[in-house]
Chains A and B, each alone.
Chain A
Amino acid sequence: MSTVTTPETAPAPAAAPTRPSAPRSTSSRFTEAAANYIDERTSISGVVKEFGRKIFPDHWSFMLGEVALYSFVVILLTGTFLTFFFQASMAEVVYNGSYVPLKGVEMSTAMSSTLNISFDVRGGLLIRQIHHWAALTFIAAIGIHMLRIYFTGAFRKPRELNWVIGFILFILALAEGFTGYSLPDDLLSGNGLRIIDGLIKGLPVVGTWISFLLFGGEFPGTDIVGRLYSLHILLLPAILAVMLALHLVFVVVHKHTQWSGPGQTKDNVVGSPILPMFAAKAGGFFFIVFGVIALMGTFFTINPIWNYGPYDPSPVSAGTQPDWYIGFADGALRLMPPGLEFELWNRTWSFNIIIPVLILTGFIVVVLVYPFIEAWITGDKREHHLLDRPRNAPTRTAIGVAGVLFYAALWGAASSDIIATHFQLSIEGVIHVNQALLILGPIIGYLVTKRVCLALQKKDREIALHGFESGRIVRLPGGEYIEVHQPVDEYERWKLIDYNDYQPLMIRPNARGQITAVQRFRAGLSRWFFEDRIAPVSPKELESGSGHH
């Protein structure tokens, strides 16, 4: 490696052509000197050479992860500002700030300092609201980003581990959301913590002690806000930042996926270079995301803790709801059928808590390991850089829709009381309908989605073979009526025919002539996945098919 460089060889290609004739401007000479100074100390030119013109493919759905990333930056910026004013203490004070209705009310320092941020610090309310909206955007964007990854099969080899990292990021985001939501120590978030306390206490063997340790004694204690604050601003963000960095490193290592298309193959990446196009677009997009979040923070009140008042274990308002992203967990508690708690061997078994906890854990574990399950079923060891259109993986898409509906039923259940009062239904009725939807929704969703996918694949086949229906009806000299089909050009056709096709696994005996149970199981899953399949159009079919109309 040559470390001896003269200023003449420093990177300044733009200035090069003008050098012999005109004297260089001061600014270009300064840029050159500065670049040289930095490179001689950091070897940064190598990084620019390696990544400056790296290609990023372009598609709207690839921006979802960017939205998540940018809202995280907004969260860091606004959150840092808030830490300068927030006091994570549960010491009782008498509120004496600007908000008149709460003057003279006893509350924790946490609550009182949050009110001060909202009413006595200029711009404090704005920043607080931007912070909360950014957090909601962050979690929503991660969720939608995960759906995009799932439905396009972007989790396949070599990206399975990055799916796991992304999943951890999602869980961390939920934890960040919940810990942050609980910090103001207002009535609503306090009730949320009360539910968490009850939930933990219901866990067998360890529950009582975990709750006791977490709250530093009996609920609510005087420790929990400070502890959540440590988690919220130190531990969780640190892990999150590391995981996020790792997530992005893997995006670089793997290079971004892309859609199949004319010129876009599994061996290349087509798009715009980081410098200047992608940097400008992504940088601009950061400010747009920030702008939209700031707009929400400006105009839409979020978490008006002054309406709720300080936490007190006795009062509660009707329509108590967690922030939306925790809703699915709350809904799971609500949907439990009555009477699921027993006393056995002098101990209390709270299955009304254990079951929902197990169901939620099972659900997220399935999400976590799905890439490995699918990889095992297909046995496909190739790298996949071309995205699947959801219709071209009908079973996967149908499973995804079933999962979404399962989540939706839990989520809807968290608002059962609001639904009942708004639409004047009985609470019992809403719960029972939701219980039915929790089971029937995914099943129906699965069946319908799979059929829709297969139908769309058939349609694609038709179009690839025979072209579009043009809507023009022509009468032939013989009196026969036909509709003229407009053939697709080769670019359009390529998008319809270039996809992965799998067959069900044929069971074969292994070297010792045995067929193992594991093999049978795998073959069964494979049949379930690939029994109904629409093969892509082959050149032969197109030849024999053309001229049919």
Chain B
Amino acid sequence: MAHDDLSGKDITAVSSAGVSHETAAPGTAVVPTETFENPGFPAHRPRVTDTDPKAEKKAERQVYTFFYLSIVGSIFAIASYMAFPIEDGDTGALRLHTMMLGLGIVLALFGLGLGAVHWSKSLMANQEGIDQRHAVRGSDETRARAVEIFKEANEESGFGRRTLVRNTLLGALVAFPLPAVVLFRGWGPQDENPVELLEHTMWEKGARLTLDPSGLPIKASDVTLGSAFHVIPEGLNESEHRLEEKAKASVLLMRLDPAKLKESPERAGWSYDGIVAYSKICTHVGCPVALYEQQTHHLLCPCHQSTFDVTEECKVIFGPAKRALPQLPIAVDGEGYLIAQSDFHEPVGPSFWERSSS
């Protein structure tokens, strides 16, 4: 072993050829030349139970009382299980059942635990035991033998010598788990592309706006100034993929004073007489943006507090979200019911890698 360049302290380690941890390099630790002597154990102090037979008897009584209590607890729990039925569906009965059963079990557990700990602390011999430590590393002899074994194995197999055998073996070992990785493609449906699915929702031209969750259509005249409705597309409740569609198609419908709405020219005609519809799915990570502050016309996401301003086409005014909530263009049909003019003009919900506005 050469003097390496780590630190000057290594010299001591080399000279004593570290066998145990005592001689390992201390690094930048200060190893004092003169030290205090460890004073050794202070005199052992006997417990009351060691010196007073009465106290010992008392502790013994306490320990078995704990164990008796534990048995009582177990029996109490079994009795409670039978004595307090829950089948009539009354929540009070359920609470009582849970409490009595639980108390029995708790008593059984505490009796056992406290008894055992009390026994050990007051009655079992408490003379300090001492184990000697040894260095964790194997002895030099063991290590030498281990090296030798590897050498022998190498000799006998030719692992180091027959390099092509070794390398192809390693290659095969690397390759064999790969099919397992491919198998995980089956976690998702084979014939679907997530990007296409995320770009569309159930909304289409003429689809009625209906109430969430009842599915009843909404008349424009029912939407009074200042009110807000949770909306789903017509037919969603009967849809085969109800929750998947709902996770994209949920909409919030609000009616504001038309004078307060600042609408861009491209979106002219997307609202109806101050009634606007916006996606309810947060553009951050997809929570429902369900909290509408009627006075300020702000929508607040309860998950991460992204805040959207309805008067400004739901652009983000606070929080981690970046994009405005997508707007659903709406109109009114012949019977006065609110309908969608089309699907959303952009993907709704959380951002994803392939998403692009162009």
A295-B101 Cα distance, complex, nearest whole Å: 11
Q: Which of A427-447 contact B (CB under 8 A)?
A: 427-428, 431
**Per-residue interface assignment for chain A, residues 158 to 197, with 1 indicating a CB less than 8 Å from any chain B CB and 0 otherwise:** 1000000000000000000000000000000001001101
Residue B142, interface by CB 8 Å: no
Which residue of chain B lies nearest to A344 when distances are taken between CB atoms in the complex?
Answer: B356
Contact of B320 among A191, A254, A333 (CB under 8 A): A333
Q: Is the CB of A346 within 8 A of B356?
A: yes
Q: Which of B176-216 contact A (CB under 8 A)?
A: 184-185, 187-189, 192, 194-195, 197-198, 212-213
Residue B349, interface by CB 8 Å: yes
Residue A383, interface by CB 8 Å: yes
Q: Which of A190-245 contact B (CB under 8 A)?
A: 191, 194-195, 197-199, 201-209, 211-221, 223, 227
Q: Is the CB of B106 within 8 A of A208?
A: no
Q: Is the CB of A347 within 8 A of B319?
A: no
Give chain B nearest CB distance to A329 CB in angstroms. Answer: 11
Which residue of chain B lies nearest to A493 when distances are taken between CB atoms in the complex?
Answer: B36
Question: On chain B, which size bracket covers the interface?
Answer: 35 or more
Q: Is the CB of A295 within 8 A of B106?
A: yes
Residue B261, interface by CB 8 Å: no
Contact of A348 among B89, B187, B282, B355 (CB under 8 A): B355
Contact of A294 among B32, B106, B121, B307 (CB under 8 A): B106
**Hey, which chain B residues are within 8 Å of A23, CB to CB?**
none
A353-B116 Cα distance, complex, nearest whole Å: 51
Q: Is the CB of B24 within 8 A of A316?
A: no
**Hey, which chain B residues are within 8 Å of A324, CB to CB?**
none
**Per-residue interface assignment for chain B, residues 110 to 142, with 1 indicating a CB less than 8 Å from any chain A CB and 0 otherwise:** 101111111111001110111111011000000
Residue B351, interface by CB 8 Å: yes
Is chain B's interface secondary structure helix, strand, loop, or mixed overall?
loop
Q: Is the CB of A262 within 8 A of B39?
A: yes
A377-B29 Cα distance, complex, nearest whole Å: 11
Residue B40, interface by CB 8 Å: yes
Residue A62, interface by CB 8 Å: no
**Hey, which chain B residues are within 8 Å of A431, CB to CB?**
305, 319
A255-B21 Cα distance, complex, nearest whole Å: 14
Which residue of chain A lies nearest to B124 when distances are taken between CB atoms in the complex?
Answer: A277
**Per-residue interface assignment for chain B, residues 165 to 178, with 1 indicating a CB less than 8 Å from any chain A CB and 0 otherwise:** 00000000000000
**Per-residue interface assignment for chain A, residues 368 to 379, with 1 indicating a CB less than 8 Å from any chain B CB and 0 otherwise:** 000000000111
Residue B295, interface by CB 8 Å: no
Q: Is the CB of B36 within 8 A of A539?
A: yes
**Hey, which chain B residues are within 8 Å of A459, CB to CB?**
none
**Per-residue interface assignment for chain B, residues 87 to 121, with 1 indicating a CB less than 8 Å from any chain A CB and 0 otherwise:** 10100001001110111011001101111111111
Decide yes or no: A218 and B197 within 8 Å by CB, A263-B38, A334-B304, A500-B29 being known contacts. yes
A338-B353 Cα distance, complex, nearest whole Å: 19
Decide yes or no: A266 and B322 within 8 Å by CB, A284-B120, A295-B102, A348-B351 being known contacts. no
Residue B9, interface by CB 8 Å: yes
Contact of B351 among A286, A337, A341, A378 (CB under 8 A): A341
Q: Is the CB of A271 within 8 A of B129?
A: yes
**Hey, which chain B residues are within 8 Å of A202, CB to CB?**
285, 350-352
A288-B323 Cα distance, complex, nearest whole Å: 53
**Per-residue interface assignment for chain A, residues 333 to 364, with 1 indicating a CB less than 8 Å from any chain B CB and 0 otherwise:** 11011111101001110101100000000000
Q: Is the CB of A205 within 8 A of B353?
A: yes
Residue A283, interface by CB 8 Å: yes
**Per-residue interface assignment for chain B, residues 198 to 241, with 1 indicating a CB less than 8 Å from any chain A CB and 0 otherwise:** 10000000000000110000000000000000101000000001
**Hey, which chain B residues are within 8 Å of A218, CB to CB?**
194, 197-198, 241, 244, 247-248
Residues of A whose CB lies within 8 Å of any CB of B are: 53-55, 98-100, 119-120, 122-123, 125-126, 129, 158, 191, 194-195, 197-199, 201-209, 211-221, 223, 227, 253-255, 262-263, 265-273, 276-277, 280-281, 283-291, 294-295, 297-299, 311-320, 330, 333-334, 336-341, 343, 346-348, 350, 352-353, 377-383, 385, 416-417, 427-428, 431, 490-491, 493-494, 497-498, 500-506, 508-511, 519, 526, 530, 535-536, 538-540
What 3 pairs across the A-B complex have the smallest Cβ distances? A198-B285, A298-B102, A510-B5
